[in-house]
Structure formats: C-alpha cells, structure tokens
C-alpha cells in the first residue's frame, strides 16, 4: 500500500479531511491525532510539522466568510504536499492517515453522544458542527 500512487491518494484524502476539519469545532481532536501521526518521524520533525499545520489552521480561521472556500482550497493543496512529503519519508504512516480519513469520512466522532428528551411540538437539531439550510445558519461558538 505504499506505492507512489497510494501515497498521493492518501495524502490527497488526508488533506481534504484536515482542511475541512480546520473550519470546524472538532479541529483539536484531529490535531491531536496528527501529533501521533507526525511522531513517526523525530520529535523535532513532529514539532515542525505541527507548527506548519497550526499556521495553516490559523490561515483558515483568519479568513473572512467570503474568502473561506478559496483559502480552504489553497490550504488543502499545501496540506496535500506536506502529507505526501511526510508519507514519502515514512511510508508506514500511510495506514494511520488512511484510518483517520476513514473515521472522519464515516462521520464517527469518538466520545460524542447527543440525546434529546421531553421535546413535544418542537424541532430538535443536534450537531457537532455547523448547520446551514435555507436562511438558517447555526455555528457553535468554538467554530466562529
């Protein structure tokens, strides 16, 4: 699974997941997972990879709503290059990144359980992220 095609494929998928999560409230959990991923290299290299990841996250957060999609696309490209380079040096990490991508794409959020009780004649919307629909937008405070 470590041939060049799979490395680029996994890096591209990973970059998409990371960029999407940078704009959501669950970013810290994904960042924490990336700490373990980058530790496949040396501690010093892991610190540098995380520093770059944090700079890209700050770029997304600092972007305006109107620029957000363009910034996310730019960051996604940079992340793909960063991840592909890392996977070239540490091909055994491909399975770790692929597992993270599968987890995020499945929508599984470990440790999250949402429950609503006693709601009569009301709508209940539960989410761990932002909701957009028609003229309605909800963003958790941590995602703003």
Residue among 108, 138, 112 nearest 124 (CA)? 138
Mean pLDDT of 17-32: 86
Span 46-85, pLDDT tens digits:
999 999 999 999 999 999 999 999 999 999 999 999 999 9
- Burial tier of 86 (Cβ tally within 10 Å: 0-12, 13-18, 19+): buried
Q: CB neighbours of 70 closer than 8 A, spacing ≥ 6?
A: 63
The CB-side HSE value for 119 (13 A sphere, CA atoms) comes to 8
Ranges 3-7, 40-44, 58-62, 109-113: which has the least confidence: 109-113
Cα Dmax for the chain: 57
User: How many distinct helices (H) and strands (E) make up the chain?
Assistant: 5, 2
Instruction: Choose between 80 and 1: higher pLDDT.
Output: 80
């Amino acid at each position: 699974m470590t041939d060049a095609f799979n490395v680029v494929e996994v890096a591209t998928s990973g970059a998409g997941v990371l960029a999407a999560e940078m704009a959501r409230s669950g970013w810290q959990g994904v960042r924490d997972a990336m700490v373990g991923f980058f530790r496949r290299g040396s501690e010093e290299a892991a610190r540098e990879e995380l520093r770059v990841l944090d700079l890209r996250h700050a770029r997304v957060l600092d972007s305006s709503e109107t620029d957000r999609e363009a910034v996310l696309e730019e960051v996604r490209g940079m992340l793909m290059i960063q991840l592909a380079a890392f996977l070239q040096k540490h091909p055994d990490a491909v399975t770790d990144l692929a597992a993270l991508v599968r987890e995020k794409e499945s929508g599984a959020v470990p440790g999250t359980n949402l429950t609503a009780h006693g709601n009569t004649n009301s709508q209940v919307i539960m989410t761990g992220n932002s909701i957009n629909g028609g003229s309605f937008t909800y963003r958790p405070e941590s995602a703003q």
